[in-house]
Amino acid sequence: MSWIKDKAHAELARIREAKEKQVYPYFRPFESGGLHTTIAGKPLVNFSSNDYLGLTNHPKVKEAAKAAIDRYACGLSSSRVQATTVLHVELEERLARWFHFPKCLVTTTGYQAMVGTIMSLADIDTTIILDQLSHACILDGSFLAGGVPKNGSEIRFFNHNSARSLERVLKTRERKNALVCIEGIYSLDGDQATIKELLEVCARHDACLVLDDAHGSGTLGVHGRGILEEHGLEGAFPTEKLVVVSTFSKTFGGIGGIILGDEEVVDHIKHRARSFLFSATLPAPIAAAANTILTMLEESGPELVAELRSKAEYMRTSLTQVGFDLGMSNTHIMPVMCREERKALFMHVALLENGVMMVPITYPGVKEGEERLRVNVTRGHTREDMDRAIELLQIYGEAFFVLSGEDIGPLEL
């Protein structure tokens, strides 16, 4: 035995127990792509996908990726510094234009984009101020920046979405420069940032803002340009104080990060972000797929986003009428609150047995007592998909006392 083996064995106790009880929900292999797929030969509809506009599987997107494989192959075997193609450059220019920013940098994942952005901007003179519900990439970027020997930033948190709490932290910060990090839509709760109030506080305290709009790009705003478009705030905050980070792993149907901002600020990130410089380039077929989805967004006007919004509204109204608690959600991401780990796991297994996949989020992903099924409505779901999911949620919500909120007692699967 070794200490790493001892550690792994001890820390896997909960996972082993879930597997023994056959309620372990993660890493189940799909046998095809798309929202309608199979696991172990059984058909299922996936409500845990982030393919919000349902374009990942579109024939034009696949064709573009195939053509890029023929021209560039699957990988470019180096970092962007020496493996940039004309496709990457074209994509960056088009994204900057579409999002209405002076400059864009494309990275290999959204996670890298955020870590690299925070690491490049924050130093010993910076207080990084984070929403309490920040995504792991924001936390990790901040903790890395905080841990740099002799140049570490101060890290502070404010209460979720509270402009008052943010203001208190800004007033009591120790360092002269403030870097506030928020998300457009919070991914586990499906609620939007209180963006207007937060921007006002940032402006009052001369703070710079990093906005992670991973879940807002393609879903918020009439054209899908995100939370700033949604609230009529494009151009309202000085571009030189704002960096927007987003991803291709949701609406843009693949993988990859997007960094948008002022020309020099983005150029600085491009030359300083270690997560970008010391990791391989975004593969050309993925860049081609994102390029094609961007064309679709440009050509469709408001249509694609409107379709997603109307489906999400249908699901929200139906689930609310049935009596589910959807937490703080006001978007297409709707947590079905179970508030007990066993209830969330049992619901997940029962739904999966019936061909509907809704992945449970349990501790430590959320606090104990806030366990939930994370339901993502996408444009690719049909009315039949949603009706079947609602019917099953109602049946098992009653069976496992999610709807009544009663204690589940000694019930075992």
Ligand X SMILES: Cc1ncc(COP(=O)(O)O)c(C=O)c1O
Residues contributing to the site for ligand X (CB under 6 A): 109-111, 114, 135, 137, 183, 187, 212, 214-215, 247, 249, 255, 257
In the complex, least distance from residue 5 CB atom to ligand X, rounded to whole angstroms: 30
The token pair at 355 is 């061909």
Return the number of the residue (120 or 394) whose C-beta is nearest ligand X: 120
In the complex, least distance from residue 108 CB atom to ligand X, rounded to whole angstroms: 9
| Amino acid in the structure at residue 251 | T
**Preceding amide of 364 cis, omega within 30:** yes
The string of DSSP codes covering 104-133 is EEEES-HHHHHHHHHHHH--TTEEEEEETT
In the complex, least distance from residue 249 CB atom to ligand X, rounded to whole angstroms: 4
Return the number of the residue (186 or 324) whose C-beta is nearest ligand X: 186
In the complex, least distance from residue 387 CB atom to ligand X, rounded to whole angstroms: 28
CA 38 to chain centre: 24
Return the number of the residue (355 or 365) whose C-beta is nearest ligand X: 365
In the complex, least distance from residue 212 CB atom to ligand X, rounded to whole angstroms: 5
Which alpha helices (H) appear in 208-283, and where do they start and end? 227-230, 263-272, 274-277
- In whole angstroms, give the CA distance from residue 357 to residue 14: 22
Which CA distances in Å does 234 have to 91, 110, 225, 266? 21, 22, 9, 18
Return the number of the residue (111 or 346) whose C-beta is nearest ligand X: 111
**CB neighbour list of residue 135: distance below 8 Å, 6 or more residues apart:** 114, 183, 187, 212, 214
| 233 exposure class (CB count in 10 Å sphere: 0-12, 13-18, 19+) | middle
In the complex, least distance from residue 255 CB atom to ligand X, rounded to whole angstroms: 6
Return the number of the residue (109 or 153) whose C-beta is nearest ligand X: 109
Return the number of the residue (136 or 148) whose C-beta is nearest ligand X: 136
User: Which position's Cβ is nearest ligand X?
Assistant: 110
